[in-house]
Chain A
Amino acid sequence: MTRAFTQHLGVLRAMLRRMFASKLAGFLNILVIGIALSLPAGMYLLLQNAQGLVAQLSGTPQISLFLEMDAKAEDIDRLQKQLAQHPAVAGVDFVARAQALEQLKQSTGLSDLISGLEQNPLPDAFIIHPKPGDAQSLDALRGELAKLPRVSEAQLDSAWAYKLEALLKFGRMGVLIIASLLSLALIAVTFNTIRLQILTQHDEIEVAKLIGATDGFIRRPFLYFGATQGLLGGIMAWLIVTASLLLLNHQLGALARFYASQFTLHPLSIGDSLSLLLFSMYLGWLGAWLSVARHLSQIDPR
């Protein structure tokens, strides 16, 4: 057990020495892998953030029911009773026109402009909280409510969120395709690196085979190399994504102030970060394994 462990440690040490012997080439490889992985990882991150936003906004879909400007108090009472009894409606809030104007003043910072208005341009409105349902049933409800008497318009507030949700699905597919292609590129990069290493270590491999090295012993340093290079590439990708995120958040902070919003992009979660590192390490290992399987058998000492 300890013997096997020290042997692995020795292989790892020799491999790292070799890796650091050609610093520039090694660094360029890691950079290529890092950039290749940072693209899907970054897109994934943006999608995650957009998804968070959508969930936040569309979590409680609402239907806004705007009444005609000349709606009387008894019309409103009647509508309220009607709505409260509707089977697809979970709750109803009434927003009087004066109240709506006051809210508008406070939330947009346009109080000066609003104070200057001669009369209130806003209608009375009901905010309907429908019972949970899919996009279609909500849309049907909206159509039904729009036809009620004294109702001028019904708006499904979350309609755009459903559209965005569909758009996000499209984006996720895009990320998947790009990630697959770039994973292949990563495997190819490692494959080629290992091929060159096997070529330059041809003599060593030949001698090792002649004096009793098992295939596992010969393969091991190359597999370790591939996995380590993949891991370092993954770390590079993580750094690129995180640095880009910080830069974007800096600009986003300035932008969000105009809208009095606190919106910032969330960084990769610990789970996602670990997945990124493990995945890139696995791809490096796989590329090395394929290369070793392909090229080692060609060295047959005579």
Chain B
Amino acid sequence: MISFNQVHKRYPGGYEALKNVSFDIAEGEMVFVTGHSGAGKSTLLKLIAAIERPNSGSVLVNNQNVGVLKGGALPYLRRNLGIIFQDHKLLFDRSVFDNVLLPLQICGFDHRESGKRVRAALDKVGLLKREKSNPIALSGGEQQRLCIARAIVNRPAILLADEPTGNLDAAYAQEIMAIFSSFHQVGATLLISTHDESVLQDSGVRRLTLKEGVLQ
């Protein structure tokens, strides 16, 4: 489903984020990307969503080389991805409900159908009672879950999560991981970057470990 082939990513200024990275992820697989801060985890996820482009090598998503995708095709790639951003990227000028509604508006769902879907997604992350709140009133863990709800409302085949347990305590982190496991069980492909060792213990999930941009 996702395939990196000798991918090289150098940022302007000369910083080499990824060096010669190759791997494959099958459909329905759940994979952790681990490594210290600055090891290239975020860059790896951004390459999949074509937020960044590789300098050399190819990034295939659904057999499509997203590294050379034209601007006009990007939206349709991203609609198949659910992205959970490290900095959440929630919109504080609207309610929790409307934040989750946004991806459906973008895809042009009709009003009634999208209302049902938004509530189902909020229910899945345990935020149904907060639908009318402003995201600013939510705790860090709740904001993270809201971000997950927005990523899954469109029922994407691939979920990308960048440090989803970044600054949450262990109990919250376990909760979030449990949500991801439930998506994995219904067949979604998940790629989760984390440096949180507590989450990784006893999970038995495949890991891609990055060290200074090199896959270990």
Chain A residues with CB under 8 Å of chain B are 2-4, 6-7, 10, 203-204, 206-215, 217, 301-302
Contact = CB atoms under 8 A, between A and B. Distances in A.
A211 B108 contact: no
A14 to B, nearest CB: 9
Nearest to A207: B89
13 contacts: A4-B108, A6-B108, A6-B110, A207-B91, A208-B106, A210-B51, A211-B79, A211-B83, A211-B103, A212-B76, A212-B107, A217-B106, A302-B51
Contact of B103 (A4, A212, A302): A212
B111 A6 contact: yes
B126 interface: no
Nearest to B77: A212
Nearest to B52: A302
Contacts of A212: 74-79, 81, 103, 106-107
Contacts of A10: 105, 111
Contact of B108 (A7, A210, A215): A7
A207 B81 CA distance: 14
B102 interface: yes
A194 B78 CA distance: 27
Interface residues of B, number: 28
Contacts, number: 59
Contacts of A209: 75
B106 A204 contact: no
A234 B75 CA distance: 36
Contact of A213 (B52, B72, B75, B93): B75
A211 B102 contact: yes
Q: Which A-B residue pairs are the 6 nearest by beta carbons?
A: A212-B79, A212-B78, A7-B108, A212-B75, A213-B106, A214-B75
B49 interface: yes
B102 A207 contact: yes
B41 interface: no
A302 B79 CA distance: 17
B85 interface: yes
B120 to A, nearest CB: 18
B191 to A, nearest CB: 16
Given A10-B111, A215-B72, 9 more contacts: A3-B110, A6-B111, A7-B105, A203-B91, A207-B91, A211-B103, A212-B74, A217-B106, A301-B51
B113 to A, nearest CB: 10
Nearest to A18: B93
Nearest to A204: B91
B78 A210 contact: yes
B105 to A, nearest CB: 6
B8 interface: no
A94 B83 CA distance: 96
